Amino acid sequence: MRLSLSLRFITDLLVVAFCLIVAIIMIFPFLWVVITSIRPDSEMFASTFQLIPKLVTFANYQALFASSFASYIVNSIIVCCCATLLSCTVALLAAYSFSRKRFRGRGVLLLSISFSQLFPFVILITPIYAIFYSLGLVNNFLGLIIAYIAITLPFSIYMLYGYLDAVPYELDEAAIVDGCSTLGVIFRVIVPVAGPGIAATAVYMFISTWEEFLFAQTLMTNGANWTVPVGLASFIGEYTSQWGTMMAASVVSTIPTLILFFFIQRRLVSNLTVGAVKG
């Protein structure tokens, strides 16, 4: 009995140690960015390795907020929130149709959505720019929002399609008997039950658009309309780079996604059965 307990304790200890090592490996790059952001320029390119800076300075953050980077964050928040909300709504309606309805051409549409993910989105840059330029959507937040919806929508439909397929159809029938319309079933029954899936899809959409660089750089040529990734790239010059300021900008740019995940992850599990057990 003691031998069994000892082996179980050693096994648990090894598992905890392994998880701790993996966590350190994953956290260290971000920790290094944070440390570099408060490191003075005199220690930035020191010949000896120093994990902890001898002198802590916030000059990089002062230089960052003296620049236009705060406006880039606002631009990204506006674009990403609008694209996430619209794309998630359309994906939910489309996924519900694929999951609950049987109509002619359903398989072809699903196959088309799947095939759309096989091609790199970079091939869309030239035609999208030409179309948006003729429509006056270059240097326009609406154009970038439409581009981001086009990027995230196919995969988002598939994500929600899998979640909605796991929702019992009996809930739909009960809601219809109670007098709910199709939209009533979706937003009053399906949304509460599939809350974790919708939240996970929304997080995917937000992060994908928040870190997207190519479309933002191509469609937003005016510096006042830049998003965070384009603003980060602006700190790298042809002859010199502002590494300290760029590290400070990298730290600040992670705050919105951390806040989003902090609020959503608390609801991923708590909403699993709220719609099914609510009496």
Are residues 74 and 29 part of one domain? no
CB 166 within 8 A of CB 272: no
Mean pLDDT across the stretch 185-214? 86
What is the pLDDT, as a whole number, of residue 141?
A: 93
Tell me how far CA of residue 72 lies from CA of 28, 142, 164, 186, 220, in angstroms.
26, 16, 36, 35, 11
- Whether residues 152 and 272 fall in one domain: yes
Cα gap 95→241, rounded to integer Å: 46
Q: Are residues 236 and 185 in the same domain?
A: yes
Q: What is the pLDDT at residue 4?
A: 64
Instruction: Answer with the residue of higher pLDDT: 47 or 186.
Output: 186
The reply to whether 53 falls in a domain is no
- Give whole-number Cα distances, 211 to 15, 21, 237, in Å: 33, 27, 20
User: d(Cα 171, Cα 34) in Å, to the nearest integer?
Assistant: 48
HSE on the CB side for 205, CA within 13 Å?
Answer: 35
Asked if 73 and 152 sit in the same domain, the reply is yes
Question: Looking at the structure, do residues 179 and 228 belong to the same domain, yes or no?
Answer: yes
User: To the nearest whole number, what is the mean pLDDT of the chain?
Assistant: 83
Q: Do 40 and 64 share a domain, yes or no? A: no
End-to-end CA distance of the chain: 47
Q: Is 159 within the bounds of a domain?
A: yes
Number of domains the chain contains: 2
Q: Are residues 133 and 237 both part of a single domain?
A: yes
- Domain encompassing residue 8: 2-44
Residue 50: inside a domain, yes or no?
no
Please report which confidence band the pLDDT of residue 149 belongs to, taking 50, 70 and 90 as the band edges: very high
Residue 49: inside a domain, yes or no? no
Do residues 37 and 153 share a domain? no
Write down the pLDDT at residue 270: 52
The enclosing domain of 261 has a CATH number of 1.10.3720.10
| Same domain? 102 vs 193 | yes
Q: Please check the confidence at residue 71 and state whether its pLDDT lies above 60.
A: yes
Domain annotation covers residue 145 = yes
- Quote the pTM value: 0.81
- Read off the pLDDT of residues 108-144 as tens digits, 9 standing for 90 and up: 888 887 777 777 778 888 889 999 999 989 999 999 9
* Residues 207 and 167 grouped into a single domain: yes
Same domain, 110 and 35: no
Place of tokens 């806040």: 259
Pair (15, 75) in one structural domain:
no
